[in-house]
Amino acid sequence: MGVALMQGGGTNVALAIFITYVVVQFIQTYLLEPLVVGREVNINPLFTIGGLVAGELVWGIGGMVLAIPIMGILKIIFDHIEPLKPYGELMGEDKKEAKGLKKKIKELAASIKDRVSSR
């Protein structure tokens, strides 16, 4: 934004850049990432940045778009193959255990499912 102001773009250009950044960040964080990677995979921010940089170096903008889904796939593979589990743990944390109300709802759903299946 500062560059737009310094090059004589005016406040309208700086405001447009800011709004575009906020919209793109919102779409990526709350729509694309949960859909593509899922809520099951938590990738370390350092590996995310490294993956984005590596993807850009190898394939340009397309590599940056594909970097996070590829890292999610690699994390899932690493987590399910015993010799590679340390790399999966290094890339990010495992699926978190449900707590509080979520845990109680899951337990209730499981008990209802058991009752229905025993009939």
Task: Say yes or no to pLDDT of 94 above 70.
Answer: no
H/E/C letters for each residue in 53-97?
Answer: HHHHHHHCHHHHHHHHHHHHHHHHHHHHCHHHHHHHHHHCCCCCC
- Looking at the chain, the whole-number percentage of residues with pLDDT higher than 70 is 76
Please state whether 10 falls in left (phi above 0), alpha (psi between -120 and 50) or beta: left
Per-residue confidence (pLDDT) for residue 47, from 0 to 100: 87
- Looking at the chain, the whole-number percentage of residues with pLDDT higher than 90 is 11
Per-residue confidence (pLDDT) for residue 39, from 0 to 100: 60
**Alpha-carbon distances of 50 from 17, 32, 40, 64, 65, rounded to whole Å:** 25, 19, 20, 10, 13
Summarize pLDDT for 64-76 with one digit per residue, the tens: 888 888 998 899 8
Taking the chain, what is the end-to-end CA distance rounded to the nearest angstrom?
Answer: 65
Tell whether pTM > 0.75: no
| Cβ-contact 52, 72 below 8 angstroms | no
Per-residue confidence (pLDDT) for residue 100, from 0 to 100: 67
Q: How far apart, in whole angstroms, are the C-alpha atoms of residue 76 and residue 41?
A: 7
Phi, psi (deg, nearest 5) at residue 40: -80, -20
Give the domain ranges of the chain: 1-36, 40-119
| Cβ-contact 66, 59 below 8 angstroms | yes
Summarize pLDDT for 15-67 with one digit per residue, the tens: 888 899 888 888 877 777 666 665 666 788 888 888 889 999 999 888 888 88
